[in-house]
Structure 1
């Protein structure tokens, strides 16, 4: 079983499917079941970083694990500003990673069904990136959103709804920085679907 998983990770197409599964569980299932332990979410997040970094380079993958380890290590300290810096570094790396994944995907000349899987991965990674930024904003700027704060699912829900521009209005940004972030999320979500996905689908259709 372990050997099969290892072979799947080495295959970039199969690793894209594994990344899709990990992102789906992390975004849609884990928050909904209100899992009480952080270990599973940390494991899934690390797995997502690994699977997303693997097609880019081993150097990027190594940097990703170092960033995660630094953030986990600083959580045990009482120096709040060190924790801020570590989490900010993590967010910056996620932004770099998502940009690299999308650029790597767009540069592919051979378009297959796996490329469309990677396009979906890119969209979910965008969601995860913005979830991290929204959570960072809500944690260190209390009152950024009018959510109750009793459930992580609220901010996950808010981020995905904003990314898709559905905007039901039950959770809204209250502070200027949170409002700017909401606009960025909405514009990025529209741009990704209208441009990135459209280009990939067009390339795929022209080959069939």
Structure 2
């Protein structure tokens, strides 16, 4: 069983599917349940970084491991500057992973189902990165958003709705830094979709011709 899982992780296509399932669980399923401990979210987040970095190279996987350790260290201390470092390190690493996903799509000759899986993985990774920034603002800048604070799902929902630019308006940014973050999320979401669609259409057109 463990050997099959290890072989799946080594295979880039199967690893992409595993990453998609993990991201889907982290974004859409986990926030619905109010767990008494955040250990489950830490495990899932660590698994996401591992699955996204392992197929790239061992060096990238090592950087991901360091990012995970820094993230875990913040759970054991109240030092605000360590939290800043964890946010910066993790988010820069996720940006690198998304860039690797886009580069991998550009290098593929044909559009396959795994190309679409990778495209969706990049989008969900962006969502996870912005979720952490939104949660960071809500934690350290009270009043950043007008959410009730009764459920973790509120900020997850707000982040993805803003990323897709649907913007229902039931949760809105209240402070200038939160408003700037909302604009960044919306612009990044639109830009990612435009770039990915252009790549996929170009690949498909060239394969047909």
**Residue 67 (str. 1) matches residue 67 (str. 2):** yes
Distance in 1 separating the partners of 2:37 and 2:119: 31
Distance in 1 separating the partners of 2:189 and 2:78: 37
Deviation at 1:179, TM superposition (A): 0.7
TM-score by length of 1: 0.92
Instruction: Tell me, yes or no, if the aligned pair for 2:137 and 2:144 is still in contact at 8 Å.
Output: yes
3-state SS in 2 of match to 1:147:
coil
Distance in 2 separating the partners of 1:4 and 1:118: 21
Instruction: Tell me, yes or no, if the aligned pair for 2:87 and 2:132 is still in contact at 8 Å.
Output: no
Distance in 2 separating the partners of 1:89 and 1:173: 25
Residue 51 of structure 2 is matched in structure 1 by 51
Q: Which runs of 5+ in 1 are unaligned?
A: none
Query: Equivalences for 1:1-208 in 2 at 5 Å?
Result: 1-208=1-208
Deviation at 1:188, TM superposition (A): 1.3
* 132 and 78 in structure 1: CA distance in 2 versus 1, 3 angstrom threshold: closer
- Aligned CA RMSD, in angstroms, stands at 1.7
3-state SS in 2 of match to 1:31:
helix
* 201 and 16 in structure 1: CA distance in 2 versus 1, 3 angstrom threshold: farther
Deviation at 1:6, TM superposition (A): 1.1
* 87 and 151 in structure 1: CA distance in 2 versus 1, 3 angstrom threshold: same
3-state SS in 1 of match to 2:32:
coil
* 186 and 17 in structure 1: CA distance in 2 versus 1, 3 angstrom threshold: same
Distance in 1 separating the partners of 2:12 and 2:113: 13
* 202 and 36 in structure 1: CA distance in 2 versus 1, 3 angstrom threshold: farther
Instruction: Tell me, yes or no, if the aligned pair for 2:131 and 2:156 is still in contact at 8 Å.
Output: yes
The number of residue pairs the alignment matches comes to: 208
Deviation at 1:205, TM superposition (A): 4.9
Deviation at 1:26, TM superposition (A): 0.5
Instruction: Tell me, yes or no, if the aligned pair for 1:56 and 1:101 is still in contact at 8 Å.
Output: no
Instruction: Tell me, yes or no, if the aligned pair for 2:74 and 2:83 is still in contact at 8 Å.
Output: yes
TM-score by length of 2: 0.91
* 157 and 106 in structure 1: CA distance in 2 versus 1, 3 angstrom threshold: same
Deviations along 1:16-50, whole A, 9 cap, x unmatched? 00011001000000001223331211111111101
* 58 and 122 in structure 1: CA distance in 2 versus 1, 3 angstrom threshold: same
* 25 and 139 in structure 1: CA distance in 2 versus 1, 3 angstrom threshold: same
Q: Which runs of 5+ in 2 are unaligned?
A: none
